[in-house]
């Protein structure tokens, strides 16, 4: 276990905001996590890689995080011999995707280059290009805060939906995650019909019958790198806003006023239809792409991303967020909500 006092979180958040915490605690294993969990009391902040975090002030409490290390074990399912990857919470998620693809384990390719760690993947239900972590997540091993009890949580019990889970609501601050297990497949069934994945493959001359997991991962990385800034160069937390999902009545109202509206159909289990409207497109239509307020700005290549141009404070990003939200509400009548955790 590592403990540091009056610790700067500058290198623990991808927005590159320099704020401090009273105490910074790193758990290396289950024993550490149990010890911490038994004595932990508010205020505290559970932190992964800091890729979904915006700090607006110093945190006067304890920040608890898993040790950063590559730790993967392969477990074969007894009934099918299919691979499951059990990953330490502090393992970089994209390293897991790379490992899986190189070993012929499929299901994570579309999630390539998503920042953050495995523990956070289960909390956030990360997703991209038609895939979500709930599609492959099997179970989570965690320590209950307050009791120190080690529990195994099945993915089916987490109430996963678009960027949501119980870990963000009724289970918030309840568990220290130890391991996340992903259930993958030796069979390759690519999802190509979201965004411009298929178009990019066609431009490269890659037909579906020639497509491999390696080629799909490579293509997803190319798409992301072309429109997403590197946090090491330009501070950001990836997609800042969630895409609003609306019912048919709201969709028809907006479509009538905006004939060029972009959207994705989302068939519901009850037979109805909902629609996901890209927040980035709406922000762009409001003229915000590439604009700044002080040292915080909307990224010039992708309006869904707010960036730190250097020296921005958390409150600068929050002011920009409010301005963008106001204009989207005025033009489209929709509220766009932040995906990042604002402290």
In the chain, domain spans: 2-66, 68-227, 235-342
Angle at 283 between CA 278 and CA 287, to 5 degrees: 145
Rounded Cα–Cα distance for residues 326 and 328 (Å): 6
Please pick, among 23, 30, 300, 339, the residue that the annotation labels catalytic. 339
* pLDDT for residue 227: 87
Q: pTM for the full model?
A: 0.89
CATH-assigned architecture of domain 2-66: 2-Layer Sandwich (3.30)
Rounded Cα–Cα distance for residues 72 and 111 (Å): 17
Is 262 catalytic? The answer is no
* pLDDT for residue 78: 75
Is 315 catalytic? The answer is no
Summarize pLDDT for 150-161 with one digit per residue, the tens.
999 999 999 999
Is 31 catalytic? The answer is no
Please pick, among 23, 82, 163, 292, the residue that the annotation labels catalytic. 163
Considering the four listed CATH numbers 3.30.70.1340, 1.10.3720.10, 3.30.465.10, 3.20.20.70, the one that applies to the domain covering 68-227 is: 3.30.465.10
Determine contact, residues 335/327, Cβ cutoff 8 Å.
no
Ranges of the chain with pLDDT below 70? none
Summarize pLDDT for 95-152 with one digit per residue, the tens.
999 999 999 999 999 999 999 999 999 999 999 999 999 999 999 999 999 999 999 9
Residue 190, Cα to own-chain centre: how many angstroms?
21
Rounded Cα–Cα distance for residues 117 and 94 (Å): 8
Considering the four listed CATH numbers 3.40.630.10, 3.30.1130.10, 3.90.78.10, 3.30.110.30, the one that applies to the domain covering 235-342 is: 3.90.78.10
């Amino acid at each position: 276990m590592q403990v540091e006092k009056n610790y700067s979180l500058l290198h623990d958040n991808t927005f590159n905001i320099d704020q401090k915490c009273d105490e910074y605690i790193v758990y290396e294993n289950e024993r550490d996590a149990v010890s911490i969990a038994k004595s932990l009391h508010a205020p505290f902040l559970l932190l992964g890689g800091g890729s979904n975090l915006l700090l607006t002030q110093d945190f006067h409490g304890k920040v608890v995080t898993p040790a950063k290390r590559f730790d993967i074990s392969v477990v074969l399912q007894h009934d099918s011999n299919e691979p499951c990857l059990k990953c330490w919470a502090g393992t970089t998620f994209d390293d897991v995707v790379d490992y899986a693809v190189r070993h012929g384990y499929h299901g994570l390719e579309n999630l390539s280059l998503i920042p953050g760690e495995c523990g956070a993947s289960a909390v956030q239900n990360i997703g991209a290009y038609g895939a979500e972590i709930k599609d492959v997540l099997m179970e989570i091993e965690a320590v209950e805060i307050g009791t120190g009890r080690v529990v195994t949580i099945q993915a089916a019990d987490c109430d996963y939906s678009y960027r949501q889970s119980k870990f963000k609501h009724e289970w918030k601050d309840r568990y220290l995650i130890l391991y996340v297990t992903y259930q993958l497949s030796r069979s390759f069934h690519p999802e190509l019909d979201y965004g411009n994945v298929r178009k990019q493959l066609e431009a490269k001359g890659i037909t579906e019958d020639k497509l491999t997991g390696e080629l799909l991962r490579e293509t997803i990385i190319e798409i992301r790198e072309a429109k997403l800034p590197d946090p090491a160069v330009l501070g950001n937390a990836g997609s800042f806003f969630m895409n609003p999902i609306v019912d048919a009545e709201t969709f028809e109202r907006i479509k009538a006023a905006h004939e060029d509206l972009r959207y994705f159909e989302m068939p519901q289990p009850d037979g109805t239809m909902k629609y996901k409207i890209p927040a980035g497109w709406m922000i762009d239509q409001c003229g915000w792409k590439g604009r700044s307020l002080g040292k915080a700005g909307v990224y010039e290549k992708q309006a869904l991303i707010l960036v730190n141009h250097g020296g921005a404070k958390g409150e600068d990003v929050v002011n920009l967020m409010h301005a963008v939200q106001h204009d989207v509400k005025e033009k489209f009548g929709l509220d766009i909500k932040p995906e990042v955790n604002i402290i």
